[in-house]
Amino acid sequence: MGNVYEIYALRYATMSPRTPHLNYLVPDPHETAAQDLDYFVWLIRGGGREILVDTGFNAEEAKTRARKLTLNPVDALERFGVKADSIKDVVVTHLHYDHAGNLDCFPSARFHLQEREMAYATGRCMCNGMLRHPFSIEHVTLMVRHVYGERVTFHSGDGEIAPGVTVHRVGGHSDGLQVVRVETARGPVVLASDAAHYYGNLHRRSPFPIVYNIGDMAQGWEIVERLAGHPDRFIPGHDPIVSEIYPRASDKVDAFALHLNPSRSFAK
State the average pLDDT over residues 126-130. Answer: 98
Q: pLDDT tens digits for 2-60?
A: 789 999 999 999 999 999 999 999 999 988 889 999 999 999 999 999 999 999 999 99
State the average pLDDT over residues 165-189. Answer: 98
pLDDT score for 112: 99
Longest CA–CA separation in the chain, Å: 52
Helix (H, G, I), strand (E, B) or coil at 91: strand
Is-contact 201 24, C-beta < 8 A?
yes
Q: Based on the structure, what is the number of domains in the chain?
A: 1
Where do the H-state alpha helices sit in 189-264? Answer: 199-203, 214-228, 241-245
Percent with pLDDT over 90 in the chain:
96
Half-sphere exposure of 252 (CA within 13 A, CB side): 8
Q: What is the mean pLDDT of the chain?
A: 97
Does residue 117 lie within any of the structural domains?
A: yes
Check whether 141 has a pLDDT greater than 90.
Answer: yes
Between CA 88 and CA 14 the distance in angstroms is 28
Does residue 11 lie within any of the structural domains?
A: yes
pLDDT score for 43: 99
Between CA 54 and CA 6 the distance in angstroms is 16
**CATH value at residue 55:** 3.60.15.10
Does residue 252 lie within any of the structural domains?
A: yes
Does residue 143 lie within any of the structural domains?
A: yes
Between CA 14 and CA 42 the distance in angstroms is 16
pLDDT score for 33: 84
State the average pLDDT over residues 248-252. Answer: 98
3-state secondary structure 132-192: HCCECHHHHHHHHHHHHCCCEEEECCEEEEECCEEEEECCCCCCCCEEEEEEECCEEEEEE
State the average pLDDT over residues 185-201. Answer: 98
Does residue 174 lie within any of the structural domains?
A: no
Is-contact 37 15, C-beta < 8 A?
yes
Written as one string, the DSSP assignment of 3-16 is S--EEEEEEEEEE-
Q: Which domain, by its residues, includes 90?
A: 6-160+239-257
Does residue 232 lie within any of the structural domains?
A: no
Three-point CA angle 38, 39, 45, nearest 5°: 120
Between CA 221 and CA 214 the distance in angstroms is 11
Q: Which amino acid is at 149?
A: G
Does residue 183 lie within any of the structural domains?
A: no
